[in-house]
């Protein structure tokens, strides 16, 4: 039957119809049989193992006998593809995981999910033998070896290996912050930043120091803290070679050399190299004195002034 259909498609070419195939003669069809009955699309040169799949594919080019979604008007080449799509609108998820009960709209998605439970990772990298649950994850990983970054920002031309990374980056330009804290309504451009922030409200400190047991909200805070034990100071001043455990401390130090004073007082315009110095200065205007002596209750605007005062009581 496939032979007859192929011959018919071949005939339609000679009559100038839109539906085409490269099988234009009986001799060519016999050659196709020897080549495992492969069928090639004349429009885009994609190859199909059976003729019925080619016929479905041709609808993309001809636009004939397409199936339309009544909800959104999207077109599909098969009724099955349209049925799967319509679950987006109905919310139907007929495929359930027997291990955890999660449900899915497509059987393929369930199969991929089940690998979480089975541990199956059928896609392996030929460069480092790392394995993945999906071909898509393998493809993204392979870019770490090839250096390929196919996604570019239209604003600044920065390029990325993953589309999700580009989307995150674009929020720098748009200012979009789609992730909001339910406690204080503060917004964030990334979900990971929101999760870190939420720990302020919950008090959760998931990262603990193996040396002293102190706990931290983020892994980066723990990493910085651990340098108090190791003595590591990876940030060097290029002018005087003084080293620091934190990048922020280096940035503040460099202002000694550059003379930069980026923090300005809104009352008198005085400039400062560090935000803490500005805060101390602003107390001149506000009259705030947050540091109190426990012996006589006298209060001071700066901690240093309180310490000098306390020496009076100690007889120093």
Kindly provide the b/e burial profile for residues 61-72, where b requires at least 16 CB atoms within 10 angstroms of the residue's own CB: eeeeeebeeeee
pLDDT (0 to 100) of residue 22: 44
Is the distance from CB of 67 to CB of 74 less than 8 angstroms? Answer: no
Categorize the per-residue pLDDT at 6 as very low, low, confident or very high, splitting at 50, 70 and 90: very low
Give me the CATH topology for the region 233-316. Answer: Double Stranded RNA Binding Domain (3.30.160)
Task: Look at 28-32, 84-88, 218-222 and tell me which has the smallest mean pLDDT.
Answer: 28-32
**Domains in the chain: boundaries:** 2-65, 179-230, 233-316
CA distance 252 to 274: 7
Which of 48, 41, 8, 2 lies closest to 22 in space, CA to CA?
A: 41
Q: Return the percentage of the chain with pLDDT > 70, whole number.
A: 87
Distance, C-alpha 85 to centroid of its chain: 25
Check whether 294 has a pLDDT greater than 70: yes
Say what the pLDDT of residue 14 is: 34
Residue 30: what pLDDT? Answer: 54
Report the pLDDT value the prediction gives residue 229, as an integer from 0 to 100.
96
Contacts of 157 (CB under 8 A, 6+ apart): none
CATH number of 179-230: 3.30.160.60
DSSP string spanning 56-95?
Answer: HHHHHHH-TT-EE-TTT--EESSHHHHHHHHHHHH----E
Is residue 8's pLDDT more than 50? no
Full-model pTM:
0.48
- 29 versus 277: the higher-pLDDT residue is 277
Q: Collapsing DSSP states into helix, strand and coil, what is residue 20?
A: coil
- Do 179-230 and 233-316 fold alike per CATH? yes
What pLDDT score was predicted for residue 157? 87
Residues 53-83: tens digit of each pLDDT = 877 777 777 766 678 888 888 888 788 888 8
Give the percent of the chain with pLDDT over 90: 62
pLDDT averaged over the chain?
A: 85
pLDDT tens, position by position, 95-109: 999 999 999 999 999
- Of the pLDDT bands very low, low, confident and very high (cuts 50, 70, 90), residue 36 is low
Span 175-226, pLDDT tens digits: 999 999 999 989 999 998 999 899 989 989 989 999 999 999 889 899 999 9
Whole-angstrom Cα distance, residue 29 to residue 38? 10
| Residues forming beta bridges with residue 68, ordered by sequence position | 75
Phi/psi for 28 (5° steps) reads -65, -40
b/e code 136-170 from CB counts within 10 Å (16+ = b)? eebebbbeeeeeeeebeeeeeeeebbeeeebebbb
DSSP 210-276: TTT--EESSHHHHHHHHHHHH----EE-TTT--EESSHHHHHHHHHHHH----EE-TTT--EESSHH
Quick check: 141 pLDDT over 90?
yes
């Amino acid at each position: 039957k496939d032979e007859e259909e192929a011959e018919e498609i071949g005939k339609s070419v000679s009559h100038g119809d839109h539906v085409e195939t490269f099988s234009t003669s009986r001799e060519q069809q016999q050659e196709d049989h020897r080549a495992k009955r492969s069928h090639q699309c004349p429009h885009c040169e994609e190859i199909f193992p059976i003729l019925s799949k080619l016929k479905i594919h041709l609808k993309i080019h001809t636009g004939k006998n397409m199936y339309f979604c009544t909800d959104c008007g999207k077109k599909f080449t098969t009724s099955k593809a349209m049925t799967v799509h319509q679950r987006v609108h109905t919310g139907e998820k007929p495929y359930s995981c027997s291990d955890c009960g999660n449900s899915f709209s497509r059987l393929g998605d369930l199969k991929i999910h089940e690998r979480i439970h089975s541990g199956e990772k059928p896609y392996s990298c030929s460069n480092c033998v790392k394995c993945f649950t999906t071909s898509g994850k393998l493809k993204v990983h392979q870019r770490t070896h090839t250096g390929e970054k196919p996604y570019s920002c239209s604003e600044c031309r920065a390029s990325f290996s993953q589309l999700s990374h580009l989307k995150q980056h674009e929020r720098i330009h748009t200012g979009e912050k789609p992730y909001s804290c339910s406690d204080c309504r503060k917004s964030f451009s990334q979900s990971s930043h929101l999760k870190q922030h939420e720990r302020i409200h919950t008090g959760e400190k998931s990262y603990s120091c193996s040396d002293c047991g102190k706990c931290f909200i983020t892994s980066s805070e723990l990493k910085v803290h651990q340098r108090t034990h190791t003595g590591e100071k990876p940030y060097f001043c290029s002018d005087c070679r003084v080293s620091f455990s934190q990048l922020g401390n280096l940035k503040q130090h460099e202002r000694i050399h550059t003379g930069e004073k980026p923090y300005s007082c809104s009352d008198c315009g005085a400039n400062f190299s560090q935000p803490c110095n500005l805060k101390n200065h602003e107390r001149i205007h506000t009259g705030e004195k947050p540091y109190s002596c426990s012996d006589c209750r006298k209060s001071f605007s700066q901690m240093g002034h309180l310490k000098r005062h306390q020496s009076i009581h100690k007889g120093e």
